[in-house]
A = this chain, B = another copy of it.
Amino acid sequence: MKPPNETSSLSNITCPISFGESSVITMAHGGGGKLTRQLIDKIFAPAFGNSQLETNHDSAIFNVDSGKLAYTTDSYVVSPLIFPGGDIGSLAINGTVNDLAMSGAKPLYLTAGFILEEGLPIETLFKVVQSMKTAANESGVSIITGDTKVVDKGKGDGIYINTSGVGVINHNLSIHPKSVKPGDAILVSGNLGRHGMAIMAARENLGFESQITSDCAALSGMVEELLQANIELHCLRDLTRGGLATALVEIVDTANLSITVDDSKIPIGEEVKGACEILGLDPLYVANEGRFVAFVPQSHADQALVIMQNHTHGQNANIIGRVEENASKRVVLKNALGTSRILDLLSGEQLPRIC
């Protein structure tokens, strides 16, 4: 496992807990005995402490009003564990918060399941958990139950985290690819490709002139603002694995429509463009962790754009295309010269383990 990247904002936090001689994770930390209890009592409970956190029973319990709940899960296996702009902890919170937000749900409760590799420095786990705490606080979600397993050295890669999440849907919109309509405007919430390229640069020690930081961020706040402004959201999709291109292809496939995108309107920073050129990557397929695409009626597009651009995480938002009334299920990318190309799902894997 690689050492934490010292450029991370986490590098100044130190584990205040003395574990005596046991400064690394052992198989016994996953055995359900004294050492498992020590991890819960000294690392997880202090970080995630909230009135509903359940560390002494098999399930946590929460009350609901009748209505619709959104439910999601994601496992995080990013390598390296800590990268410029984030780490596996913030990613595991923001990624699942974002999956809920993409249904228009207000994220409420998360679970956290850790698969730790024998030999992991407890200090690293501590830092990651602190990062989860910070990210959860920023999104207003509570981690209410969890689980820890330990696998033998060489059967993991430091830390894998699964988070599942539950959120409440407080509106009557059906935000789904099936709700996309011909004529809809397509907006992206910010500049693309930073997460994937930040991971790539950190992993390969690429010395780009200006450091690319991940866009890893929670999107629930921006979605909440769009909902409160009564923007008629037809579909939202966060642009993770496979990037913008994959998201659009999947959406037209479910919606049975097609899309035209104006290449010149897609916001991509110069540093990401440059890095992609050097590495021969297409930024439209590079993963993001704090960006989404929104489908809204043309009449709502300008207002939605202003809301996005005024948000911390949406400064480079733009309207990039529109939904066409034909069932070819094609995503057509037009460039300034008037030529066009069809975007498709990738056959292979562009950048493995970016999330």
Which residues of A pack against B, CB within 8 Å? 26-28, 30-37, 56-77, 98-100, 102-103, 105, 109, 111-115, 144-147, 149-152, 154-157, 160, 162, 164, 166-167, 169, 176-178, 237-238, 240-242, 246, 250, 254, 345-350, 352-353, 355
Contacts and interface: CB of A to CB of B under 8 A. Distances in A.
Main secondary structure of the interface of A (DSSP, over half): mixed
A73 to B, nearest CB: 4
A237 to B, nearest CB: 7
A100 B75 CA distance: 21
A71 B62 contact: yes
A147 B349 contact: no
A59 to B, nearest CB: 4
B353 A254 contact: no
A111 B72 contact: yes
B348 A162 contact: no
A348 B28 contact: yes
Nearest 8 pairs of A and B residues by beta carbon:
A32-B241, A73-B111, A33-B346, A31-B349, A164-B164, A32-B242, A162-B162, A28-B349
A103 B70 contact: no
A97 to B, nearest CB: 11
A56 B237 CA distance: 10
Contact of A349 (B27, B62, B66, B69): B27
Contacts of A164: 73, 111, 113, 162, 164
